[in-house]
Amino acid sequence: MDAFLQQFQDLKIQLEDITSATDDFNDDNCIGGGAFGKVYKGELSHSKGRNMVAIKRLDRRHGQGIPELLKEITTLSRHSHTLKIWQF
Average pLDDT value for residue range 21-39: 91
Predicted local distance difference test score (pLDDT) of residue 22: 95
**Cβ-contact 58, 35 below 8 angstroms:** no
State which H helix or E strand residue 42 sits in.
Answer: strand 38-46
Is the predicted pLDDT of residue 88 greater than 80, yes or no?
no
| Residue 76 pLDDT level (bands cut at 50, 70, 90) | confident
Q: What CATH number matches the domain at 2-77, 3.30.200.20, 3.40.30.10, 3.90.1530.10, 3.30.565.10?
A: 3.30.200.20
Predicted local distance difference test score (pLDDT) of residue 56: 87
The residue type of 17 is D
**Cβ-contact 50, 43 below 8 angstroms:** yes
- Closest by Cα among 81, 58, 77 to 11: 77
3-state secondary structure of 79: coil
Between residues 17 and 46, which one has the greater pLDDT? 17
**Mean of the per-residue pLDDT values of the chain:** 82
The model scores a pTM over 0.75: no
**Strand locations in the chain, DSSP E?**
30-33, 38-46, 49-56
